[in-house]
Amino acid sequence: MGDSWIHFSFFISATFFLASIPFSNSQLAPAESRILFQVQQLLEYPQALQSWNNWTNFCSLSPTPSLTIVCSGNHITELTIVGNKTSPSQINPKLSPSNFAVSQHTLSDRFSTDSFFTVLTKLSSLQKLSLVYLGLWGPLPAKVNRFRSLEVLNISSNFIFGELPQSVSSYQSLRSLVLSDNLFNGSVPDLSSLSLLEELDLSNNYFGPNFPSLSNDLVIINLGNNSLRSEIPQDLKKLNKLQFLDVSSNKLVGPIPSFLFSLPSVQHINLAKNKLSGAFPPNASCNGKLNFVDVSSNLLIGKLPTCLASSVGKRTVVIMWNCLSNTTSKYQRPYAFCQKDALAVMPSVRNEEEESTLKLGIVLGVIGGVVAILGVLGLLILVIYRRLHRKNGRDYRSESFVMEKTPVRGSPIGRHVPQPMRMTSLGLPPYHVFTLEDMEDATNSFDPSNLVGEGSQGQLYKGWLRDGSVVMVKCLKLKQKHSHQALQHHMEVISKLRHRHLVSVLGHCIVSYQDHPSTAGTVFIVLENIANGSLRDHLIDWRKREVLKWPQRMAITMGVARGIQYLHTGGVLGNDLKIDTILLDESLTAKISSYNINIPSKVGAESPLHGQDTSSSSHSENPEKEDIYRLGVILVEVITGRPVDSKSELDDLKFQLERSLAESPSKLRDLIDPSMRGTFAYESLKTVVQITINCLSKDPTGRPTVEDVLWHMQYSVQVQEGWSSSGNLSGNLSGNLTNKM
């Protein structure tokens, strides 16, 4: 584990809010102190609150990843508590309001949301409230509107069920409402009166069936993965400030409104996995700021609008699994499929006579049956053609990697979100500037027993912050002189690079020379502790490797690819990517720990964090494609289940993978990790193998972009999910292969 930490250049993590929490010497009103102790008891003493006692000065507590309390005068204005429970989306089988039961994932059956919010609403000056991963369960009581000054409300990742109370619409100061990943159901109350609301995140619930009424000043709308069954309302044309819209994974019907892509501020639109039908408006235009569109897995027909079909700027467009005609995508369904399904989901129309309705139903049923048979025959012909085409082809490069899009090179999706909202929504810890005394306290004065490892760049210590959280502290003694101001600016840039699949930097401490106070001599980097080992550890230990079935390996490699995508959008290229530097947390989430972040003042100068600038990005002609190559190496190691130690071994494995694709599915049996056998759909595995081969192309220009890799990985996941739910995939091919394995 120590080596995994020493080899990295630097660590960074998910989208981030850096707002200096004001330190307060004020003494909290006794009544509010008693309220906090009641909250501690009602939440059943979560880890973040266990240290509270009668001598705790709540207004002077340093903010931590799990607890933030901000006071103004004698009153609490901000309360953030992040627990260590899970959430409904992380439980398998999937939870719903109908099958909810109190469990180890929730608070006990003694908990009452009514009692809890009765106590909490007595904090009358509260402006920001975040209660995340605490296992809260039960209906949200109407009395939540007693928070008269509330600006940010985040109760995400809990088990709140029932309808959202109408009283929520009375928050006149509310700017951010985040209730994602709960078990809410029913209709969303009218929110059009919330004139200050900028962020609305109700994703991963069961809201529906109607699309909610919303205020016109919203910047972010996330209603993904709910039960919406209506059409997209025309009222959205009034949302001139809207930048982010996600209504994916619902059952929305009808056509896509002509105005949607031309909203004046819109940048991101996700309409995937709905039942949207019909053709795009012939005069549809796109806003120049629009950089991401996903309309995949719908029932769209006709031609793609010119502004989406052509390469415009840096726009990503995903259109697979529709019935579009002016595209070279191999992942379009026959026209008849979309026509039949569109009729099936079309809103019912009342006829004058029930007999006419019955006759029409019979006629449509007959037509549907004929169309279905023709569709099956068409798919069979397509499959046969593709097999023959593969056998005749001598070039192993997959044409399916060419998508109807241009790669994203702008800011990462979500960067437009106001910083405080992103921080509150995701429950990320605020970045903290530590003192030397803090570093000494955390490491017990750099006790040798806490030394994890030592390299040419410095030492790595295990430490404990005052809230009890375990961290890693990297001590770097700078060989060249850097001004305190320049290094502070360098750290400020790094603090803003955060992502779920990058190891999080929690803060830093800069120590200056005594004889030159304006010159930095040492910098301490405080990093989150990922104690579950590296990807290499999991591949070489047979007990850990047995846990990594095909779905888990897909999730890990997709996490790595998403981390690379985030780094590339920020211009961070030529990174040290290998299984040693891919760390896995307790939930097997992949986190990249080695980056090439060099901001020297001149060529060849030492980077304050990485020493002499010798990164591959300095010497490689195409560092972006070099990262793709390294991703390909990781994919080979994940598929085969063994580390690759030499270039010749890698070339041999690549050749064997190419040959197995050209010959027969059974050839993969001797190549893949035996631990995965019986857990994958052949088409899913084949897609990832094709991705891998392309990533390892000797010609850098022949390697796909990270966006190409991601979208085809997503296709692989779709196929795998279909196979898992049905027990077989595309007839006997995968079924026979599974039986053999």
Confidence of residue 394 (pLDDT cuts 50, 70, 90): very low
Residue from 303, 381, 401, 299 nearest 340 by CA: 299
How many Cα neighbours within 13 Å face the side chain of 435? 5
Residue from 366, 382, 427, 406 nearest 157 by CA: 427
Please give the model's pTM, rounded to 2 decimal places. Answer: 0.51
DSSP state of 233: P
Region of 645 please: left (phi>0), alpha (psi -120 to 50) or beta.
alpha
Is residue 16 a contact partner of residue 496, using CB atoms and an 8 Å limit?
A: yes
Confidence of residue 456 (pLDDT cuts 50, 70, 90): low
Residue matched to tokens 């964090």: 609
In DSSP terms, 463 is beta-bridged to: 471
Confidence of residue 601 (pLDDT cuts 50, 70, 90): very low
So what's the pLDDT on residue 26? 59
SS3 breakdown of the chain: % helix, strand, coil, rounded to 5? 35, 15, 45
Joined tokens for residue 392: 């005749």
So what's the pLDDT on residue 411? 33
Secondary structure of residue 274 in the 3-state scheme: coil
Residue from 582, 572, 488 nearest 538 by CA: 582
So what's the pLDDT on residue 164? 95
Distance between first and last Cα of the chain: 33
AA letter at 579: I
556, containing H or E segment? helix 550-569
Sheet harboring 519-528: ordered strands across?
432-433, 505-512, 519-528, 470-483, 458-464, 451-454
Secondary structure of residue 356 in the 3-state scheme: helix
So what's the pLDDT on residue 17? 33
Confidence of residue 16 (pLDDT cuts 50, 70, 90): very low
So what's the pLDDT on residue 353? 42
Confidence of residue 726 (pLDDT cuts 50, 70, 90): low
| Paired sense of beta strands 458-464 and 451-454, if any | antiparallel
So what's the pLDDT on residue 360? 52
- Give the burial class of 600: count Cβ atoms within 10 A of its Cβ; 0-12 exposed, 13-18 middle, 19 or more buried: middle
CA distances from 312 to 272, 315, 330, 342, 504 (A): 21, 6, 22, 30, 34
Measure the CA–CA gap between 265 and 6, rounded to whole angstroms: 44
Phi first, then psi: what are they for 677, rounded to 5°?
Answer: -60, 135
Residue from 507, 515, 407 nearest 466 by CA: 507
AA letter at 225: N
Residue from 340, 345, 344 nearest 323 by CA: 340
Q: What is the mean pLDDT of residues 488-502?
A: 78
Residue 393 CB neighbour total at 10 angstroms: 12
So what's the pLDDT on residue 468? 80
Q: What is the mean pLDDT of residues 227-248?
A: 94
So what's the pLDDT on residue 185? 93
Joined tokens for residue 592: 């990249």
> Which long-range contacts (C-beta less than 8 Å, at least 24 apart) are formed by 38-42?
38/119, 39/116, 39/119, 39/120, 42/111, 42/115, 42/116, 42/119
Largest interatomic CA distance in the chain? 97
606 contact partners, CB below 8 Å, separation of at least 6? 478, 479, 480, 600, 612, 613
Instruction: Tell me the DSSP string of 119-167.
Output: HHTT-TT--EEEEESS--EEEPPGGGGG-TT--EEE--SSEEEEPPPGG
Joined tokens for residue 589: 């989430």
Secondary structure of residue 168 in the 3-state scheme: helix
Secondary structure of residue 176 in the 3-state scheme: strand
So what's the pLDDT on residue 637? 93
In the predicted model, is pLDDT for residue 602 greater than 90? no
AA letter at 85: K
Secondary structure of residue 509 in the 3-state scheme: strand
Measure the CA–CA gap between 107 and 103, rounded to whole angstroms: 8
CA distances from 34 to 56, 131, 158, 355, 363 (A): 12, 19, 25, 70, 71
Measure the CA–CA gap between 31 and 44, rounded to whole angstroms: 20
So what's the pLDDT on residue 253? 94
566, containing H or E segment? helix 550-569
718 vs 162, higher pLDDT: 162
So what's the pLDDT on residue 380? 63
Q: Give the highest mean pLDDT range of 2-11, 388-397, 544-553, 591-600.
A: 544-553
Phi first, then psi: what are they for 382, rounded to 5°?
Answer: -65, -45
Residue 534 CB neighbour total at 10 angstroms: 23
